Amino acid sequence: MKIPPLILALILSFFYFHLLAQPQRGDCRILFYNVENLFDVINDTLINDEEFLPGKGRNWNRFKFDDKINKIAKVIIAAGGWEAPEIVGLCEVENRYVVEQLIKKTPLHSFGYNIIHKESPDLRGIDVSMLYKKDRFKPLKYRYLEVKNSNGQKLNSREILYVEGILKNKDTLHFFFNHWPSRYSGYLETAGLRKQAAKTLRKEVDLIFQKNPDSKIIIMGDFNDQPSDESIVNELKAVAYNQETKNGTLYNLSAAWNSIDSGTIKYQAQWLIYDQVIVSKGLLNNSNSIYSTPLSAGIFVNDFLLKRDDTHGGFKPFRTYSGFSYEGGFSDHLPIFLDLFIN
């Protein structure tokens, strides 16, 4: 269902002004997108993927898969502004094959993306991946960070993707793409798991700061927590931006989105900001060769990503499934972006 322009304008008036009038695209755009259960149609006996098989729970099939990867490609291209994003972080992808299909069997094939991917220990088999334009970004190294519980045991959850590389032959950037443990079993029951993910990430960030306090760090992902939650504020130590930046501090550019009714995912009648953009001081200095600004992060929204919410009012993300009912949409999350500028 296409939303009339007037109605869409009213929707967007409730969102952070970045959504209503997105800033001019920077020299480089980084996108993160939780694509909601991008599974293939082949049974993998090592994971719990049965509900996404032909004839099983959701009656997943090749037609639906092809439709979904083309819809994801549409979002990525549209969110890029006048060109596709230079770097794309993805989560909820089953394996490398589905990511390869995304960049080879859709209009994304013309943009020259390469893939970074590794199978995660998640019981459902959903992973975190990265796409990058090989003529714009040169990875120097990457690895996946294991998330462990308080007893030191590895969690059966998504690992954190860390990538260090050089952007446009200008400077080194450090990327962390995340998909922290979900709230499916309840907030109190799972809050400790997200705190452990935050501790894991903060430890790696501190190691980078020890080598260079002015390092340019970009953290993006679906944290399954909001900017004000303990995992983000107390464990990751990511704070709202203020004008007096200092070394060793992470700044959550998504914290400002809390000021009005906006979000990246909707639970019942409430919009939540689970997908966030966090950066280091080194990226907020406009005298550096590569920099960003506090206003350069936002949520990408378009009328095709929303549908009317008949139960709770207003609108909600147009997703692939609502429970086991196939809707044929995009995702239950809206994508987020960060623009970078080059001197």
Domains detected in the chain: 5-342 (3.60.10.10)
pTM: 0.92
Q: How confident is the model at residue 262 (pLDDT cuts 50, 70, 90)?
A: confident
pLDDT at position 20 over 50: no
How is residue 90 written in tokens? 């993805």
Average pLDDT, integer, range 288-305:
95
Q: How confident is the model at residue 336 (pLDDT cuts 50, 70, 90)?
A: very high
Residues 116, 142: Cα–Cα separation, whole Å: 8
How large a percentage of the chain has pLDDT more than 70?
Answer: 92
Q: Report whether 328 contacts 284 (CB < 8 A).
A: no
CB atoms within 10 A of CB 120: 26
Instruction: Give the pLDDT score at 8.
Output: 53
Rounded to 5°, angle at Cα 57 from 56 and 59: 60
Instruction: Give the pLDDT score at 14.
Output: 47
Q: Which residue has the higher pLDDT, 203 or 247?
A: 203
Q: Report whether 222 contacts 333 (CB < 8 A).
A: yes
- Residue range 29-74, pLDDT digits in tens: 999 999 999 999 999 988 989 999 998 889 999 999 999 999 999 9
Lowest-confidence range among 6-10, 111-115, 270-274, 321-325? 6-10
- Residue range 266-275, pLDDT digits in tens: 999 999 999 9
- Residue range 129-141, pLDDT digits in tens: 999 999 999 999 9
Average pLDDT, integer, range 315-331:
95
Instruction: Give the pLDDT score at 43.
Output: 92
pLDDT at position 1 over 70: no
Residue count of the chain: 343
Q: Report whether 331 contacts 319 (CB < 8 A).
A: yes
Average pLDDT, integer, range 154-174:
95
Instruction: Give the pLDDT score at 16.
Output: 41
Q: How confident is the model at residue 259 (pLDDT cuts 50, 70, 90)?
A: low
Residues 292, 55: Cα–Cα separation, whole Å: 48
pLDDT at position 7 over 70: no
